[in-house]
Amino acid sequence: MVSRIAEVWQYRAMLWSLVLSELRTRYRGSFLGFLWTFINPLLMLLVYTFVFSKIMKVVMPHYPTFMFIGLLAWNLFASGVQSSSSVIVRQGSLVKKIYFPREILPLSVVGGSVINYAFSLVILIPFLLVSGFYPTFYWFYIPIILLMETILTVGLALLFASLTVYLRDLEHMLNIFMMLWFYFTPVVYSLSMLPGRMSVIFKFNPVADAVLAFQSVLYYNQSPHWKLFVYGCFVSIVLLLLGWSIFNRLSRRFAEEV
């Protein structure tokens, strides 16, 4: 395992180059180009604000802020896992022709999602300031929460990336599954809105832990609920190890199956 990590590290130039080309090609050819990286979350914010404040009339102070914080965290996870699930097949020509640690491919996808998240902070932070949320010391938790969520995302990305090679349906099933998962994660509502016992289920959801932690730090101006957070870290690491070992086992035949 240590040697695997060392090898991935040795190929960091490739990882970085894949992340960059992914970011650079995503909006290539479009008129606004790279600006879309910022416009996307901004438009998303406008749509959700309109729907939930004007049509659904949610009674929660600064609801758009609350929701936007959770939504960005969710998007990091969802886009990372979903896009990873097809990455081995998409990059089949590389897999068949060149040796490199296969982990690089899903890692590059998740890396792209993390960087996108960082870019969307450029929208989120001014929005927080405008809405009256000023920086506090709790903001120093952000990198740690981000790390925990990244670990979780990488674990599931490795798992689905390797499984999808053998079972192509998974990519499409994942779309529906992710939608369901989204509504089981307190992004558009807060846990306090749920009837008593129900919130317990949510605590087993590791993505919810990450989202809740972001909300605590940015919205409620608190430190994350430490029990939940430790639990989230634990689950993330377990999923990472599980995903990685399955990936390792399955990656031996990638070149034949893509």
Partner 1 sequence: MTDAQPAIRVNHVTKSFRVHLERNQTLKEKILYAGRAKYRDFVALRDVSVDIMPGESVGLIGVNGSGKSTLLKLMSRILYPDVGTIEVAGRVSSLLELGAGFHPDFSGRENIFMNGALLGLSRREISYKIGEIIEFSELGDFIDEPVRSYSSGMYMRLAFSVAVAVDPEILLIDEILAVGDAAFQAKCMSRLKELRGQDKTIVIVTHDASAVERFCDKVVWMHNSRVRMEGQPVECIQTYLATVFRAANEGANTMSFDRTGAHPDHTNSSSLADEATGEERVDTDPMDLRWGTGDVVIDRITVTSSMGEGLVKCGDPLDITMHFHVVRSVQDVDFGVGIFSEEGTQCYGTNTRVDRHQTISLEVGTGHVTFRADNFCLLPGTYAIDVACSAADTQAHDYWRKASKVQVFSDRPDVGICRIPHDWELIRDTASIEFARM
- For tokens 């034949």, the residue is 256
- Does position 30 interact with partner 1 (CB under 8 A)? The reply is no
Task: Please count the residues of this chain forming the interface with partner 1, following the rule CB under 8 A.
Answer: 27
Closest CA to 110 of 142, 145, 146, 144: 146
- Does position 177 interact with partner 1 (CB under 8 A)? The reply is no
Nearest residue (CB) to partner 1, 134 versus 169 = 169
Look up residue 52 and give its DSSP letter: I
The two tokens of residue 229 are: 């957070």
Using CB under 8 A, pick the residue from 25, 59, 134, 143 that binds partner 1.
Answer: 25
Using CB under 8 A, pick the residue from 1, 2, 13, 130 that binds partner 1.
Answer: 13
- Does position 226 interact with partner 1 (CB under 8 A)? The reply is no
Using CB under 8 A, pick the residue from 5, 136, 168, 230 that binds partner 1.
Answer: 168
Q: List binders of partner 1 among 85-114 (CB under 8 A).
A: 93-100
Give 160-220 as a DSSP string. Answer: HHHHHHH-TTHHHHHHHHHHHHHHTSTTSS-GGGS-GGGHHHHHT-HHHHHHHHHHHHHTS
The residues of the shown chain that bind partner 1, judged by CB under 8 A, are: 10-14, 16-17, 21, 25, 28, 93-100, 166-169, 173, 252-253, 255-256
